[in-house]
């Protein structure tokens, strides 16, 4: 059985700190890890679907509405690119 690691998420970027939108997502998917090989790219959806008005991101999966809409028909390459964007939103470079 696949072991999942827990990651704490920060508020979506551009969100004002007056309203903290923090949650936990369980995923060990790394879009840059070649070990996944031909395995399907998993959906980042965690069934907490609500768009943050200020950031324009889903508070559950950190995707834009455009990324959510295209996901079902997206290529594996595009899905990995979306995952990279999600990771950057979750853990922005402090520099």
User: Structure pTM?
Assistant: 0.68
The yes-or-no verdict on residue 59 having pLDDT over 80 is yes
Cα–Cα separations (whole angstroms), residue 16 to 5, 55, 85: 28, 9, 20
The yes-or-no verdict on residue 19 having pLDDT over 70 is no
Look at residue 88 and give its three-state secondary structure.
Answer: helix
């Amino acid at each position: 059985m696949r072991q999942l690691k827990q990651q704490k998420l920060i508020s979506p970027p551009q969100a004002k700190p007056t309203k903290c939108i923090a949650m936990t997502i369980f995923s060990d998917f790394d879009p840059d890890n070649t070990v996944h090989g031909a395995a399907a790219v998993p959906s980042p959806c965690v069934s907490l679907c609500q768009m943050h008005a200020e950031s324009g991101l889903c508070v559950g999966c950190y995707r834009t509405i455009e990324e959510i809409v295209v996901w079902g028909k997206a290529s594996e390459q595009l899905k990995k690119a979306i995952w990279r964007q999600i990771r950057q939103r979750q853990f922005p470079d402090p520099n």
